[in-house]
Amino acid sequence: MSTAVGAIVGSSLVSLYDGIGRQDREDILDCLSHAHAFASRYHDQRDDYSNWIFRYRTRLENRGCLLVSPIRHTPQVIFHPSELDAVTFNIIDSAGSRALASLAGAAWRSLKVNRHADRFFSNGSRDGELGRLQMVPCLSDSKGEVLILICAIRLTASVDTRDFDFWTDTRRDMLLRISGGVYHFDRAVYAGYREQIRMQLNANSDHAIKAFPI
């Protein structure tokens, strides 16, 4: 399966694969952009991410994204940058879930997160959030239905520094959290909101979707 179009929508990296028609592509990007703007109206991503992502997902569900199966992931402590390359996206089995998990893994590795992590493990000095993003691979299944994986990723840092008589010992680690799930994009439900969403997005001067070939 080859990637046709990539896009940055708010803080989401969206990848739209072959088989998704033009109307579906426009609708998916608009739906994601609308959910991002809606959640950001009530919560700041940086200061209140848990509530932000709850609003984001709830809005998507109310606009035609129906949850099929959730991601299963236990928060993972990372001690070395190379461990980030081995991250997997475990989804409860459903139609298309394995393909989407594979696409999410490929997108994750392409981000080269381990390079950024290397700087933290070398000289990071502060606790706190290192980064967060949503990866959203989308594909069309054998029946022509559109499936979307909403994959929310957060990395937070922990730095423990101890001073001894003749040296300082610093230990660093990261906590990786992955949440989300596979959604079925219900065209009929979304169609009832299409014009309203387009009008709202067109009226929003901050609205911008950056598309690029992959």
Lowest mean pLDDT among 14-28, 64-78, 81-95: 81-95
Which among 146, 192, 190, 214 is positioned nearest to 33, based on CA atoms? 190
Rounded-to-integer distance, Cα 56 and Cα 35, Å: 5
At residue 16 the predicted structure's pLDDT band, cuts being 50, 70 and 90, is: confident
Inform me whether the pLDDT recorded for 64 exceeds 80: yes
- Looking at per-residue pLDDT, the higher value among 205 and 167 belongs to 167
What pLDDT score was predicted for residue 196? 95
Please report where in the chains the tokens 């928060």 appear, as a residue.
Answer: 75
Amino acid at 111: L
At residue 2 the predicted structure's pLDDT band, cuts being 50, 70 and 90, is: low
CA 87 to chain centre: 14
What pLDDT score was predicted for residue 93? 55
